[in-house]
């Protein structure tokens, strides 16, 4: 399996996940303080939205790579 096919499959999978979920969120630790035996941490939840156009473009590019570099 060539590198173009692997990248194409990964792009299609990433685009499909982007269309299905519309984004992802993660927790970011911003501040931390240690007061003797106690630890105080501040965490913020960040959300990243994936545009539909980017997801569709990833799927289209993945299909192009799969079909464009197939063995003849």
- Residue 38 is part of which domain span? 3-68
Given this model, what pLDDT does residue 15 score?
A: 94
pLDDT higher than 60, residue 72:
no
Q: Where are the alpha helices (DSSP H) in 1-72?
A: 3-21, 52-68
Task: Note the pTM of the prediction, 2 decimals.
Answer: 0.70
* Structural domain count of the chain: 1
Given this model, what pLDDT does residue 29 score?
A: 84
Q: What is the pLDDT of residues 18-70, one digit of tens each?
A: 999 988 899 988 888 888 889 888 889 999 999 999 999 999 999 999 998 87
Q: Give residue 71's pLDDT band: very low, low, confident or very high (50, 70, 90).
A: low
């Amino acid at each position: 399996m060539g590198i173009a096919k692997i990248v194409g499959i990964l792009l299609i999978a990433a685009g499909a996940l982007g269309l299905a979920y519309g984004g992802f969120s993660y927790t970011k630790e911003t501040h931390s303080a240690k007061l003797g035996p106690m630890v105080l941490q501040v965490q913020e939840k960040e959300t990243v939205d994936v545009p539909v156009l980017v997801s569709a473009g990833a799927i289209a590019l993945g299909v192009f790579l799969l079909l464009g570099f197939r063995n003849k």
